[in-house]
Structure 1
Amino acid sequence: MSAYIQNFKKFRPLLWELIARDIKIKYRRSVLGVLWTLLNPLFMMIVLSVVFSNLFKFDVEYFPVYLLSGQLIFNFYSESTTNSMSAILSNGALIRKIYVPKYLFVISRVCSSTINLLSSFTALICVMLATKVDLHYTVFLAPIPLFFIIVFSLGVGLMISAITVKFRDIMHLYSVFVTALMYLTPVIYPLSILPKWLYPIVMLNPLTNILQMLRGVMLYNAIPSLSSILIAMVECGVMLALGLYVFYKNQDEFILNV
């Protein structure tokens, strides 16, 4: 374990360079640049709030905050895992030339998405202030669900980045999976409208527990329950362990397939 830690420290400057490169590429030739990380969730929240709060008449108090908190979790998962999927393939030229710990490419994608996550969280606070939602002391517990979604997404990212090297079709199928997952995550709708047969399926979705935890601390002045924290720890631990295992088992063959 100490060898892995020392190796990570040795290549840490490269990780910062990869993160900076990912951010620069994303906002290259953009007039507002990184400011879009704050504006984009706000614009999406305005559009979706108008549509769903009026057209579908969802009876949810402070619906803009409810919606944006859901977007914050799901959009981070979607962005970080989708970007991680191509992390190895897009750095194939570098992998073939020199030795680099290959997991750094995945971590850099998740870290660059984390910057967007923090910007979206800032947007959430601004919306809460604008809509006069009470900021309770439980807001300081928000790092707990944010940490869980980062770890869970890293595990998924490691796994699918390794699988994609061999099976490129995953890049096309994953977008379909993310779309289906969005409808099985209570981002837009309240859990109370779900039929009885669908409710347990949505609750089995790991993102649901993390999302509900964030909404609890931000909106409802609720401290995360011990059961929800333990469930999130198990789900994130299993996903990260699975991702590391799949990545480790396949990384030696990356150079042959990138």
Structure 2
Amino acid sequence: MKETIKIFIKYRFLLKQLVLRDIKIKYKRSVLGILWSMLNPLLMMIVLNIVFSELFKIQIDNFLVYYLTGFVVFNFFAEATGASLSSIYGNSALIMKVYIPKYIFPLSKTLSVFVNTLFALVAVAIMVVVTGVKLTPTMLLTPLLLFYLLLFTMGIALIFSTYAVFFRDLQHLHGVMMSVLMYLTPIMYPVEIIPEKYKWILNFNPLYYYVNYFRELVLEGTIPNMETNLICISFSLFSLLLGIYVFRKNQYKFILYM
């Protein structure tokens, strides 16, 4: 572990440069640039507000903020894991030429998406003010939620980046998996409409807990209880440790499949 930490510190500058590179590439020749990270959730929110609250007559208190809190959490997870898929084989030329800790690549992808997510939080803040949601001290605990979510996503990104080297079809399956996960997570609909016999599914959906955590902080103005925090940190640590294990076990085989 000490050796891993030393290597991480040694290559922290490279990690920073990779994150900056990904951000620059994402917004290269983009007129809106970083502003799009804020506009995208707002535009989606307007469309879904019409569909769900008007056409489907689903009544949710402050639907706009309700949706945004779920969207930001899910979108970060989906984008980060999607970006991580090609992080290893996409840098095969560099990996085969010089020694670089391979985990740097999925980590940089996750962190670059995380930075974009921070800009998306501005959209949440704007809608909180516009819609008149009561500002409470609990909102200051949002960084704790982001920490939980970041650890969890890093673990899954390490797993996805590992298996994508061996199974390139994972790139195509990712979109399907994220679509299924989106509908299994109460982002656009209230938990109450889920039939009782299917609610057990939520217990095995980590994103449900992170989304609910965010909503408790922003919409309910309450601090999630100890049980909720333990569940969130447990999912995060389990994901990260499993991701590290899977990645370290397979990283020496990467060069055979590039």
TM range (shorter): over 0.9
Partner of 2:203: 203
Q: Is the 2:80–2:113 contact (alpha carbons within 8 Å) kept by the matching residues of 1?
A: yes
Aligned runs of 1:27-176 on 2, under 5 Å? 27-176=27-176
Q: Is the 1:145–1:211 contact (alpha carbons within 8 Å) kept by the matching residues of 2?
A: no
Q: Is the 2:139–2:218 contact (alpha carbons within 8 Å) kept by the matching residues of 1?
A: yes
Deviations 1:104-132 (A, max 9, x none): 10111111111111111111011110111
Q: Under a length normalisation based on structure 2, what TM-score does the superposition of the two structures give?
A: 0.98
Moved more, 113-122 or 66-75: 113-122
Aligned runs of 1:166-245 on 2, under 5 Å? 166-245=166-245
Deviations 1:183-236 (A, max 9, x none): 100000000111111111123211101110100000001101100110111111
Deviation of 1:141 after TM superposition, in Å, equals 1.1
Moved more, 152-161 or 112-121: 112-121
Q: Is the 2:136–2:221 contact (alpha carbons within 8 Å) kept by the matching residues of 1?
A: yes
Q: Under a length normalisation based on structure 1, what TM-score does the superposition of the two structures give?
A: 0.98
Q: Is the 1:185–1:208 contact (alpha carbons within 8 Å) kept by the matching residues of 2?
A: yes
Distance 1:18 1:49 in 2: 37
Deviations 1:56-85 (A, max 9, x none): 112111100000000010000000001011
Moved more, 24-33 or 180-189: 24-33
Deviations 1:6-43 (A, max 9, x none): 11111111111100111111111111211111111111
What amino acid does structure 2 have at the position aligned with 1:206? P
Distance 1:219 1:80 in 2: 26
Q: Is the 1:45–1:64 contact (alpha carbons within 8 Å) kept by the matching residues of 2?
A: yes
Moved more, 187-196 or 248-257: 248-257
Give structure 1 stretches of 5+ with no counterpart.
none
What is the percentage of aligned positions where both structures have the same residue? Answer: 45
What amino acid does structure 2 have at the position aligned with 1:245? Y
Moved more, 99-108 or 142-151: 142-151
Give SS of 2:117's match.
helix
Distance 2:19 2:70 in 1: 25
Give SS of 1:197's match.
helix
User: In the comparison of the two structures, how many residue pairs are matched?
Assistant: 258
Give structure 2 stretches of 5+ with no counterpart.
none
